[in-house]
Amino acid sequence: MGCTRRWVGAVVAVLSLLAAGCGGSRGTDTSTGDGTTATTGASTSSGSFGTLPSPCGPGDASGATDQGVTDTAIHIGFGDDAGYQGSPGLDHQVSDAMRAFIAWCNDQGGINGRPVDGTYYDAKVTEVTNVMAEACTKEFFLVGQLFVLDDGQEPTRRGCALPAVPAAAGTALFANAPLKWEAVPSAIDRSSVYGGIQLAEMYPDAVKNAAVLYGDYAVMKDRKDQVVEAFTSLGWNFKPECSMSYNIAGEADWKPFVQKLQSCGAQAVYYVGAPAPALENILDAAHQFEFEPIWYADTNSYDTSFAAWNRDGFADRVYFRMGFVPFEEAGQVPVVQQFLDIVDANGGDPNQLGQQAASSFLLWATAAKACGSDLTRECVSQQLDRTHEWDGGGMHGSADPGNNEPTRCGVLMKLDGTAFVRVTPEQAGTLDCDPSHVVAVTGDVVTRHDIGADRIAPLS
């Protein structure tokens, strides 16, 4: 069971990095004149969420207008894989946030007066097909869910035409699926490259001698191909002789990996996988060989246990991009504190995937409110298709859910001992936003999934 636990942990960590890479600023964006966005104060009252007027409140909506909609309730499904015995509680923070925001909404009167009735589904990693078959028969929408192996759900979900506004999409089949909108899109044919841009400016020589170290699993290979293609367009040079994969169930000895990276002259290493235990073990081995490249990881490195592990500073050269202003800056960005307060009031545990679930719930609720009493899947889907500017009340940089385009905002982070610190932009509560921070991906990862001009990943 130990190897299985590590496998799932590694996969979930990569799904987290794929998902969470699209978040962004908190509060109202105002130009600072230097390409960054600053945040302003935002109300914490129930009448708004950050800068977003609350989509919830009283009204006189009525009628059984579609599957899952009655005079007295709107039935939606949400869920995670918390019941998986190999990793109990897996991604429970996603559903913690959903429960909290459903309660927050219903306390205001529901949507146009109809309460939201959320049904929790536990896919337990391997039971996603069964979950989807059940949800297909009764739910109006899926909202704010995250299932690790979401590619397994797609034949069933698409077959019953069940629309979804997930917290995150982990696999390419769902990331580029029809009838799916994300508050913070993570399409496989788009890559957020803010971290690559910044490191190329900071370490121009190192990125010309780059390597990639990735887990031998399909999701990780997808991520590796996506980032390598995108970063190469920024001037990074990934040396084929330096790049290698590792066993996601664990390696008996990490020293040979470090020796190969060192002997082939790697000065910058892009790592794909979980911070624990693999990256921690690699950094331990690198310290033994006095190997000190620049390490670039992904958003999943924003993990409190990883920070606590770094007592000796072995991870002080690990950089990663985030789309979210860190929780540590909630004092300067009121909407972050509002999110924390709402989840805490409902007894939940907050994390960034929970923020994504909250933003997706607000996106769906805003679309549902616009449909008024005539609440149908078609109407809500049309509203979502028309949503091309969405920041979740200021929780993240503006993204385009209707076109499945991620935000163009980012912040570069690193560890300094046991503390996370921002590198760029320097001002707390800000993000650096520019169209050049997202690039199109057209290579192996796109052709492997048969993604064409319509940007849809077809069922095989």
pLDDT tens column, 258-276: 999 999 999 999 999 989 9
Whether the CB-CB separation of 10 and 170 falls below 8 Å is answered with: no
Q: In whole angstroms, what is the distance from residue 435 CA to residue 322 CA?
A: 16
Q: In whole angstroms, what is the distance from residue 310 CA to residue 194 CA?
A: 25
What CATH number labels 19-30+52-188+328-403?
3.40.50.2300
Q: Dig out the tokens for 150 from the structure.
A: 């979401």
Average pLDDT along the chain: 90
pLDDT tens column, 346-374: 999 999 999 999 999 999 999 999 999 99
Instruction: State residue 13's pLDDT score.
Output: 55
Q: Dig out the tokens for 73 from the structure.
A: 């309730």
Q: In whole angstroms, what is the distance from residue 57 CA to residue 113 CA?
A: 6
Instruction: State residue 10's pLDDT score.
Output: 54
User: What percentage of the chain reaches a pLDDT higher than 70?
Assistant: 90
Instruction: State residue 323's pLDDT score.
Output: 86
Instruction: State residue 40's pLDDT score.
Output: 31
Instruction: State residue 44's pLDDT score.
Output: 39
**Do 190-326+408-448 and 19-30+52-188+328-403 fall under one CATH topology?**
yes
pLDDT tens column, 53-105: 999 999 999 999 999 999 999 999 999 999 998 889 989 999 999 999 999 99
The position carrying tokens 């789309």 is 323
Residues of the chain with pLDDT under 70: 1-46
Q: In whole angstroms, what is the distance from residue 14 CA to residue 164 CA?
A: 21
* CATH class of the region 190-326+408-448: alpha beta
Antiparallel, parallel or unpaired: β 419-424 and 431-433:
unpaired
Domains of the chain, by residue range, sit at: 19-30+52-188+328-403, 190-326+408-448
The pTM for the full model equals 0.90
Cross-strand bridge partners of residue 415: 420
Question: What are the distances in angstroms from CA 74 to CA 66, 118, 123, 149, 219?
Answer: 10, 8, 22, 27, 34
